[in-house]
Amino acid sequence: MDFEHSAKAQDYIKRVKAFIKNEIEPVEEDYLRELHSLDNKWVVLPIIEELKAKAKAAGLWNMFLPDEHYGAGLSTQEYAAVAELTGRSFIAPEIFNCNAPDTGNMEVLEKYGSPEQQEQWLKPLLAGEIRSAFCMTEPGVASSDATNMEATATVEGDEVVLNGRKWWSTGIGHPNCKVGIFMGLTNPDAPRHQQHSMVLFPFDAPGVKIERMLPVFGFYDEPYGHGEVSFDNVRVPLSNMIAGPGRGFEIAQGRLGPGRIHHCMRLIGMAEKALELMCIRAASRTAFHKPLMNLGGNRDIIANARMNIEQARLLVMKAAWMIDKVGAMGAMSEISQIKVIAPNMAQQIIDAAMQMHGGGGLSEDLPLAGLYTAARALRLADGPDEVHRGLIAKIEMMKYKKYMKEA
């Protein structure tokens, strides 16, 4: 394994770092202050579109897609360092058109979508003209089991009828969210992993209703948000089904693999931002006539944070390298390993930074409370820690199959 950045990756890292420093950081605080002052926060402020246009003009656009026809042609490993930089900002992922869940949905449409689906939905997503949502998780069943969905996608002639309820559908509060991917039960009599299908639906289709937006620790994450959506006899053309009936589980696994590691890349950046703020605070703040860095074991906390970030980054790089070499299915254990480690690591470091800042760390004066909320949520998003640990153990124990006794 060689984790040295290629010349191409180094160029993108340099340019993304400069763009964030020169274009995003100077305006982000004012942007968030203005957004939070509005009665209706579910809006796109002009500065966002201005920055998106600048990023696109600079060629810093769709960098998550390895296909040069659609994206920047960066490998998963090359993109890792770029995604890490975007994790330091709440708005950078959208500015570069590299924001979840759009990234995963674009990957699905690029890999599994028909030419018609790509023309209608992938093209405007790639252009940053619209946003999208992924409707998989349900309130009534344990949705960490991708074969467990009760919502239905029933084929009736040349139509698919969607019924059920989804929640924690990220991005549905965005005013530009125009399309979603719905995972539903199509054939309960088929083999377990061939029962579900994925279907594209427009949010203005009759029967689609956003029931409510869901706060995370009181944060609604405007203008993106997470919501609960009901589907009441929503009829869409059969051509909206992605890759055909019964392919839902397959698509979910293909979508969630790269998506999980993208989250982990950004989590490294979030942890770096928190450590940076913690170190500045420790060096500049005094209590009991001493700098904070010399009180209460804070030097150990800082040292442990640095070591934990470096360990997590190495595993992110290994998982990314394996995805490039053997594909997401061949890197299942490594992806699950980092999906457990990265959010727990970031959560711990952000929590330490909040503690170092006292009451200010809990407020919106600093980004730490928002970062903590995101890190904690990512211990559930794209599969909870427990499911990933179970998969890691299953793969590990397969090495010792000859010792297993029949139950």
Bridge partners, residue 46, by sequence = none
Residue 58 pLDDT more than 70?
yes
DSSP conformational letter for 91: S
Residue 138 pLDDT more than 70?
yes
Tokens of 46: 């002009």
Tokens of 302: 């800082």
Q: How many CA atoms lie within 13 A of 341 on its CB side?
A: 20
Distance (Å, rounded) from C-alpha 149 to C-alpha 188?
11
| pTM score | 0.95
Q: What SS3 state is found at 179?
A: strand
pLDDT band of residue 2 (cuts 50, 70, 90) is: confident
pLDDT in tens, 155-198: 999 999 999 999 999 999 999 999 999 999 999 999 999 999 99
Q: Tell me, what's the pLDDT at 407?
A: 54
Q: How many CA atoms lie within 13 A of 153 on its CB side?
A: 30
pLDDT in tens, 288-323: 999 999 999 999 999 999 999 999 999 999 999 999
pLDDT band of residue 18 (cuts 50, 70, 90) is: very high
- Which residue intervals of 327-384 are DSSP H helices? 332-356, 368-377
Tokens of 197: 């299908």
Q: What SS3 state is found at 314?
A: helix
Q: Is 119 exposed, middle or buried (0-12, 13-18, 19+ CB in 10 A)?
A: exposed
DSSP conformational letter for 23: I
pLDDT band of residue 405 (cuts 50, 70, 90) is: confident
**Percent above pLDDT 90 for the chain:** 92
Distance (Å, rounded) from C-alpha 207 to C-alpha 100?
25
Bridge partners, residue 152, by sequence = 163, 185
- Which residue intervals of 213-331 are DSSP H helices? 248-284, 298-326
Q: What domains, with CATH codes, occur in the chain?
A: 7-113 (1.10.540.10), 131-242 (2.40.110.10), 250-403 (1.20.140.10)
Residue 139 CB coordination number (10 Å)? 11
